[in-house]
Amino acid sequence: MQLLSDRILNMATSATLAMAAKARELRGEGKDIIGLSLGEPDFNTPDFIKDAAIQAVNDNYNSYTPVDGYVELKEAIITKFKRDNNLTYTLPQIVVSTGAKQALANIAGVMLNKGDEVILPCPYWVSYSDIVKLNDGVPVEVATSIDTDFKMTPAQLEAAITPNTKMMWFSSPCNPSGSVYTREELRALADVLAKHPNIYIVSDEIYEHINYGQGHASIAEFDDMYDRTITVNGVSKAFAMTGWRIGFIGAPEKIARACNKLQGQITSGANCIAQRAVITALEAEPSSVKYMIDEFKIRRDLILGLLNDIEGFKSNTPDGAFYVFPDVTHYFGKTLRGKTINNATDFSLYLLEEALVATVTGEAFGNPNCIRISYAASQEQIIEAIKRIKEAVS
């Protein structure tokens, strides 16, 4: 009998994590790799949040928490949703999970049946497609390009809908393109969905605060979308808390209760100390982390300027998150230093081997023409990395 399940054998390894592991391994061999592959802030968690965690340890928070999170944390999440997003949720609509990633896995686990289609505007965050497939869903990719700032148009959404469409998943600000849907653009998508009342929406807003443009809009703000939207958020990005592993949802009560049930059999809930710390994080005004956002903006402008100087890198101007997603098709079919570049994966590997810079192929995000470069790295690292890339491709 086969040792491993078809389920795991058919699943791809997370390309972002795989590239980060590869960069770590090469560093271990003494290679001077600059890691621009992982979407992880290079800041430390702010002291006021760390202090809350230390306090929680000393206050003996060591027991299992309610499966869906401490009531005080859920109340802080409700306040946050109201304050930042003008969304009204009640306690049974909130579930705290081990990162937004688990929140997404919960949603797929409780909502998808075999053959249910999930519309994924491309490029999408790397794990969406495999989380959907793991739960017997069928990802329906909708290709976008740099010409529409990597955003799906209402006509494209309409064309992707079939009788089997169960959900649409998207992130705004988007990982990997950095694109941010305006309220008007969201309304236009909502107008299409309004004609299809059985379709649910997963709105992944984990980069909400990392926004350099006109501000954040949530699709659940629209009355006719509220009952059909699961709003996903977390603290990994804006609060530099990736390792603390706390994410959460605001959802229709039935869905939240189902996520609670699933989580009760799988994790028993998220880490108690991290949950206490996140109460403090969410109670703080978003301005408490503005120093990080300001620095990310400086780096965005820096990297865009530097990339502009390299032939064949065509970028949009991302309004959020901390990634650039240049189109590199210029290099396809070319031979550089004896290596033939056929696609974005070849190009990303070439940059790793020849420039010692780790990026991620766009193929992992459903876009074979681009690579993702994270600028959650110091300005010095960004300058050095782009200098090396420029040399490697010239």
Residue type for position 101: K
Interface with ligand PMP (CB under 6 A), residue from 35, 99, 137, 362: 99
Of residues 170 and 350, the one with the C-beta less far from ligand PMP: 170
Residue 135 interacts with ligand GLU (CB under 6 A)?
no
Among residues 384, 243, 254, the alpha carbon closest in space to that of 306 is found at: 384
Name the one range near ligand PMP by CB under 6 A: 97-105, 115-123, 195-203, 285-293: 97-105
According to DSSP, the residues that pair with 121 across neighbouring strands are: 142
Q: Which does 17 bind (CB under 5 to 8 A by kind): ligand GLU, ligand PMP, none?
A: ligand GLU
Minimum Å gap between C-beta 57 and ligand GLU is: 26
CA distances from 214 to 153, 154, 356 (A): 19, 21, 36
Pairing mode, strands 94-97 and 247-250: antiparallel
Residue 267 interacts with ligand PMP (CB under 6 A)?
no
Alpha carbon distance 80, 97 (integer Å): 16
Interface with ligand PMP (CB under 6 A), residue from 19, 20, 39, 278: 39
Of residues 38 and 262, the one with the C-beta less far from ligand GLU: 38
Of residues 14 and 267, the one with the C-beta less far from ligand GLU: 14
Alpha carbon distance 234, 248 (integer Å): 6
Q: Which does 45 bind (CB under 5 to 8 A by kind): ligand GLU, ligand PMP, none?
A: none
Of residues 175 and 369, the one with the C-beta less far from ligand PMP: 175
The residues in 114-143 that bind ligand PMP, with binding defined as CB under 6 A, are: 125
Letter string b/e over residues 330-345, b meaning 16 or more CB atoms within 10 A of that residue's CB? bbbeeebeeeebebbb
Residue 174 interacts with ligand GLU (CB under 6 A)?
no
Name the one range near ligand PMP by CB under 6 A: 98-106, 187-195, 330-338, 350-358: 98-106
Interacting residues of 80 by C-beta distance below 8 A, sequence separation 6+: 282
According to DSSP, the residues that pair with 336 across neighbouring strands are: 339
Of residues 119 and 206, the one with the C-beta less far from ligand GLU: 206
Q: Where are the alpha helices (DSSP H) in the chain?
A: 6-9, 15-28, 47-58, 71-85, 99-111, 127-134, 154-160, 183-194, 223-226, 253-266, 272-283, 290-308, 344-350, 379-393
Q: Which does 234 bind (CB under 5 to 8 A by kind): ligand GLU, ligand PMP, none?
A: ligand PMP
Interface with ligand GLU (CB under 6 A), residue from 53, 119, 126, 364: 126
The residues in 10-69 that bind ligand GLU, with binding defined as CB under 6 A, are: 14, 16-17, 38-40
Residue 170, classified by CB atoms within 10 Å of its CB into exposed (0-12), middle (13-18) or buried (19+), is buried
Residue 318 interacts with ligand PMP (CB under 6 A)?
no
Interface with ligand GLU (CB under 6 A), residue from 65, 129, 175, 275: 175
Among residues 239, 247, 252, the alpha carbon closest in space to that of 281 is found at: 239
Alpha carbon distance 201, 207 (integer Å): 17
According to DSSP, the residues that pair with 140 across neighbouring strands are: 119
Note the residues at the interface with ligand GLU (CB under 6 A): 14, 16-17, 38-40, 101, 126-127, 175
Note the residues at the interface with ligand PMP (CB under 6 A): 39, 99-101, 125, 171, 175, 204, 206, 234, 236, 242, 247
